[in-house]
Amino acid sequence: MKVTRIFRFVVVVALVLGAVACGSAGTPAPSGSTGGAPFGQASCAPNCKFSDMTMCFPQLGAESDWRTADTASFRDEAQQDGFKLVFSDAQQHQENQISAIRACIQQGVSVIALPPVVEDGWDAVLTEAHNAGIPVIIVDRSVSADPSLYVSHIGSDMALEGKRAAAEFNKKFPNGAKILELSGTTGSGAAVGRAAGFRADLNANIQIIDSQTGNFTRAEALPVMQAFLQRYKFGTDFQGIFIHNDDMGLGAIEALKAAGIKPGDLFIVSVDGTRGGFQAMVDGWFQADVECNPLLGPQVAQMALDIMNGKPVDANVLTNETVYYPDNAAELLPTRKY
Ligand code: AHR
């Protein structure tokens, strides 16, 4: 009798200790360990607060003004909401992003917000995060990994951006033209999507005579444009350029200026809508700038908190974007946040 009572006491104490040990606030539940709780739900659910959250943000680099604004958006949001942001800069190298994610898994962060530099090669590290019960939100660019390895993607519709750029060329050149493409980082969701959307909607009488990457940077775009100008005669061989981001556009403008080309001599459509892009429209270099919004911090933070609280979230959240034109660029320029 006495032994049975002691046994019962030991079992109750063990159960209580077990519950306390499993229930540290902010720790996500591994997949399947909570008897059907949504993946990534934290033990503080349904009352998790931002102060319970540690977000890992292995930023892909600092290659453009867009990226600088994106980083600032996450940093500002973390400060405002009061969550911890584990930030790193991978300098456009996938292996650096993978190492940063592994360090975050070791640290037991609540959530990983990953802006992938390229689309392929994420399966192994995403599986590691999944096995550790850490939810991943893919931010900005896309990945080719199995969607079961991450909870959601928040970012732009890159193919739509390419289609919007194609519509500008179709309008400008109803009788056809020859054009160049200055593409973004090879294998990145942004470059792949924009190139595919562009080609899908470009009229058959508009020919892309050459396409080279400038890796989304001003510095790398400059020599690419110089090489284009040595190979092709502007006006005769080509009449326009599709440029995958504003930073590369600004690098290209330097090369065009040095070659004596004037604003308006070529039809140039860029992507992003940064202040630099707006200035290029004001100065007459860009004839349209397709928006790509980098201010993703607030949306990603709210989704991360919802995941921790076990709330259902959408698998793909696309940013609402538009196209900007020179006619009101001067008026809008002072209102631009990036
Ligand atoms: O993935 C978004 C792209 O990456 C932006 O167009 C570009 O500026 C950035 O580097």
Give 255-283 as a DSSP string.
HHHHTTPPTTSSEEEEEE--HHHHHHHHT
Assess contact for 323 and 168: CB atoms under 8 A. yes
Residues in Cβ contact with 260 at an 8 Å cutoff, skipping those fewer than 6 apart? none
Q: How far apart are CA 86 and CA 134, in angstroms?
A: 14
Instruction: Indicate which residue's Cα is closest to atom 3 of ligand 1.
Output: 190
pLDDT in tens, 246-265: 999 999 999 999 999 999 99
Residue-level length of the chain = 338
- Smallest Cα–Cα separation from 31: which of 159, 167, 126, 153? 126
Q: How far apart are CA 86 and CA 8, in angstroms?
A: 44
Per the prediction, the chain carries an average pLDDT of 92
User: What is the predicted pLDDT for the residue at 26?
Assistant: 46
- pLDDT confidence of 36, banded at 50, 70, 90? confident
User: What is the predicted pLDDT for the residue at 35?
Assistant: 57
Look at residue 123 and tell me whether its pLDDT is greater than 90: yes
Q: What percent of the chain has pLDDT over 70?
A: 90
Shortest-distance atom of ligand 1 to CA 190: 1
Q: Which residues line ligand 1 (CB under 6 A)?
A: 63-64, 66-67, 140-141, 190, 216, 245, 247, 271-272, 292
